[in-house]
Every structure is written in structure tokens, then in C-alpha cells.
Amino acid sequence: MSLNLLLSTIILVSFLITIVMAVGSYVAYKLREARRPRQEIAAHDAVSPYFERITADEK
């Protein structure tokens, strides 16, 4: 086995392992997100717990 063939094989295998790991991570992320309880979508006029709505009329 020549050195070029060995290095090419190592690069190809590491590339394929990287692709498989990326797909596996994405699937694990999607499965975790699917288990998370859904939050109720707040109405447009609902009070936000994080921000205070400021309008142009207020000074």
C-alpha cells in the first residue's frame, strides 16, 4: 500500500465520519426539540415578561 493511497483513505474515512456525525447531531437536536413542551403563542396585545412596550405617544 503506497503512502498516497493510505493518506487518501484516511482523508476519505474522516470526511465520511464527519458527515455521519453531523447528521447524527442534527437528528439528536430535532428529537430533543420534539420532546420539549410547546409554549403557548402569545397574542399580539399580550404582556411580554421580558420587554415593556413603548409607543410614540409616551414621553
> Which amino acid is located at 10 in the chain?
I
Q: What is the pTM of this model?
A: 0.57
List, for residues 20-56, the tens digit of each pLDDT value: 999 999 999 999 998 877 776 656 666 767 787 778 8
Give the angle 22-28-33 at the CA atoms, nearest 5°. 125
Q: How far apart are CA 9 and CA 3, in angstroms?
A: 10
